Amino acid sequence: QRLQQRQARETGICPVREELYAQTFDELIREVTINCAERGLLLLRVRDEMRMTIAAYQTLYESSIAFGMRKALQAEQGKADMEAHIRQLESEKKDFERHVLELKAKTDAIEKRESERRALDEKKHAEEIAFLKRTNASLKRELETYLSPSKK
């Protein structure tokens, strides 16, 4: 009833419940000590050991909470650093992509210019061959005309 009156929590750490249990245990120790002093001293030791154990657990709990908070802050900081690094890498990637496009445009222009030059060279070569064939044919005819009258 007292737990309900003082609105104690049913589960977890509750200071109200802890206080009421401590009062009850102290009263129990007092009554047992009246009957048998040795048992009372033993219960005092148990109570003190229990309080030290609970204090140690509370200290451990608090330090683990602090450790968790530190780790969470470090993770948050690490996350911000990683995000900045990702942004930097994405910027570098865009720069490289732009550079690749520029180089592709240059290679396309060079290939086009070279193919035009090659076509022009081939055309000149074909014209030169045709000219030489015509010249060769006319020289052959001329030579034949020189050689033909001498046979008669």
Q: What is the pLDDT of residues 23-66, one digit of tens each?
A: 999 999 999 999 999 999 999 999 999 999 989 998 999 999 99
Whole-number Å distance between alpha carbons of 86 and 89? 5
Q: pTM for the complete prediction?
A: 0.49
User: Quick one: DSSP state of residue 7?
Assistant: T
CA 78 vs CA 70, 72, 81, 82, 86: distances in Å: 12, 10, 5, 6, 12
Q: Which amino acid is at 78?
A: G
Higher pLDDT, 6 or 76: 76
- Alpha-carbon distances of 19 from 22, 116, 120, rounded to whole Å: 5, 98, 104
In the predicted model, is pLDDT for residue 150 greater than 60?
Answer: no
* Run of H or E including 146: helix 37-151
